């Protein structure tokens, strides 16, 4: 049995909306499951366009309204080194997944799974270009789009926690 924490990285475009929202929700879920010491959750983006920016204020608003604590966060781009060592990479969209698959070593490609792919009510992704499991991008939308994004994130989070518990039991 390993003593290293199981590492999860949520990944979106700029790391200021979806991926930090998912990071915060998953951290809370793992905390509530008593797995703080066994699981480490972080977030990044595939782009450096928002480098060092904080979480989008609209995302913060929705997180606060749902009772989440907002950590100090600065957007950053995932490095090839990180991508090669994280236990579970959770891209928010098919585009993000394809970006990650370019930098992840061949023997670790199965460590990249779309965030919403854990929802048992949704069909499996048909191919690398199938966007049916994409998490809503609220950036250009309305406050309602941030709420819808949060709804999707919160809905899937318990399924991810349960799946990771199974992975931890196999270590």
Examine the residue annotation and report whether 137 is marked as an active-site residue of this protein: yes
Annotated catalytic residue: which of 18, 27, 58, 116? 18
Best CA proximity match to 88, nearest among 30, 155, 164: 164
Helix or strand run (H / E) with residue 41: strand 39-45
Rg (CA), the chain: 15
Q: Which listed residue (12, 56, 58, 87) is catalytic?
A: 12
Name the packing angle between helices 18-32 and 143-170 (round to 10°): 50
- Selecting among 95, 119, 137, 145, the annotated active-site residue is 137
The DSSP result for 88-118, as a single string, is EEEESSHHHHHHHHHHS-GGGGGGB--GGGG
Known catalytic residues are: 12, 18, 137
């Amino acid at each position: 049995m390993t003593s290293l924490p199981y590492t999860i990285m949520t990944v979106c475009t700029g790391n200021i909306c979806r991926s930090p929202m998912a990071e915060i929700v998953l951290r809370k879920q793992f905390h509530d499951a008593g797995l703080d010491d066994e699981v480490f959750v972080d977030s990044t983006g595939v782009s450096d366009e928002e480098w060092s920016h904080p979480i989008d204020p609209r995302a913060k608003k929705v997180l606060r309204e749902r009772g989440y604590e907002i950590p100090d966060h600065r957007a950053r781009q995932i490095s090839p080194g990180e991508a090669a060592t994280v236990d579970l990479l959770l891209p928010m969209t098919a585009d993000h997944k394809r970006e990650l698959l370019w930098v992840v070593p061949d023997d670790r490609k199965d460590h990249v799974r779309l965030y919403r792919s854990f929802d048992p009510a949704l069909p499996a992704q048909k191919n690398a270009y199938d966007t049916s499991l994409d998490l809503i991008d609220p950036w250009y939308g309305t406050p309602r789009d941030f709420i819808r994004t949060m709804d999707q994130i919160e809905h899937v989070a318990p399924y991810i926690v349960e799946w990771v518990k199974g992975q931890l039991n196999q270590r």
